[in-house]
A and B are shown apart, each in its own frame.
Chain A
Amino acid sequence: EAGVTQFPSHSVIEKGQTVTLRCDPISGHDNLYWYRRVMGKEIKFLLHFVKESKQDESGMPNNRFLAERTGGTYSTLKVQPAELEDSGVYFCASSPAGERSRYNEQFFGPGTRLTVL
């Protein structure tokens, strides 16, 4: 079974540019999450999809961030325009629905390291 994959692994952009991150969850996982870790700090929640619907977007920093989940499969997170403080590692995670979601376990991807110059 393939794990959660993310693309790109690294992205370096100039302030004001646009970047789109992609996440492919584990097949069959209804729950998809985006998290971010800024240098040395905690992993912070951004957004939660259940299938194609946004269940919780309380962690999205501002309206420069836009997340979508097409057809309940892969998800994209777009940052437009990027600011210096958006630098960090963006993780995607997925988990199965309902009773199959045991032990609070979420399956994480390797992350996209975003650097805004």
Chain B
Amino acid sequence: GQSLEQPSEVTAVEGAIVQINCTYQTSGFYGLSWYQQHDGGAPTFLSYNALDGLEETGRFSSFLSRSDSYGYLLLQELQMKDSASYFCAVRDPGENQGGKLIFGQGTELSVKP
């Protein structure tokens, strides 16, 4: 089966940098995604890595190492509004496109002043 592991919670201060790690076990691989969910809101797509390396989008970056089955989300210049849950996810390998997502348990990030 497929499984993803990520820390349950992380705390950091405003302006700092935080890294949220994710390790996965899948029988096939179609890329690693990250979603952000504010309390009571909809999970929203942040990033996607299909190939090894770093993808940067503004203050957020995501990294993937397929050989290590590992990725991370890097948040820089933390702001209070970044306090949220962050989920890593992979697509079910049974379908080429449009298949279900398999999520990690989520990391609750608390940003303190």
Residue positions of A touching B, CB distance < 8 A = 3-4, 30-31, 33, 35, 40-45, 48, 50, 55-56, 59, 91, 93, 95, 97-99, 101, 103-111
Q: Which residue of A lies closest to B97 (CB)?
A: A101
Q: Which of B33, B42, B50, B89 is within 8 Å of A110, CB to CB?
A: B42
The interface residues of chain B lying within 8 Å CB-to-CB of A110 are 40-42
Please choose the segment from B63-71, B74-82, B99-107 that sits at the chain A interface, where 4 or more of its residues have CB less than 8 A away: B99-107
A-B contacts counted at CB < 8 A amount to 78
Alpha-carbon separation in the docked complex, A111 to B44 (Å): 12
B93 to chain A, nearest CB (A): 12
Interface membership of B87, Cβ < 8 A: yes
Per DSSP, are chain B's interface residues mostly helix, strand or loop, or mixed?
loop
The interface residues of chain A lying within 8 Å CB-to-CB of B40 are 110
Q: Which residue of B lies closest to A46 (CB)?
A: B100
Q: How many chain B residues touch A (Cβ–Cβ < 8 Å)?
A: 30
* Cβ-defined contact, B45 with A98, below 8 A: no
Query: Which residue, A3, A42, A97, A103, has most C-beta atoms of chain B within 10 A?
Result: A42
* Cβ-defined contact, A56 with B99, below 8 A: yes
The interface residues of chain A lying within 8 Å CB-to-CB of B50 are 103
* Cβ-defined contact, B44 with A108, below 8 A: yes
Interface membership of B24, Cβ < 8 A: no
Over the window 47-70 of chain B, the binary record of Cβ atoms lying under 8 Å from chain A Cβ atoms (1 yes, 0 no) is 010100000000000000000000
Q: Which of A30, A42, A59, A108 is within 8 Å of B100, CB to CB?
A: A59
Alpha-carbon separation in the docked complex, A104 to B26 (Å): 15
* Cβ-defined contact, B100 with A104, below 8 A: no
The interface residues of chain A lying within 8 Å CB-to-CB of B91 are 104
Alpha-carbon separation in the docked complex, A111 to B43 (Å): 9
* Cβ-defined contact, A91 with B42, below 8 A: yes
The interface residues of chain A lying within 8 Å CB-to-CB of B90 are 104
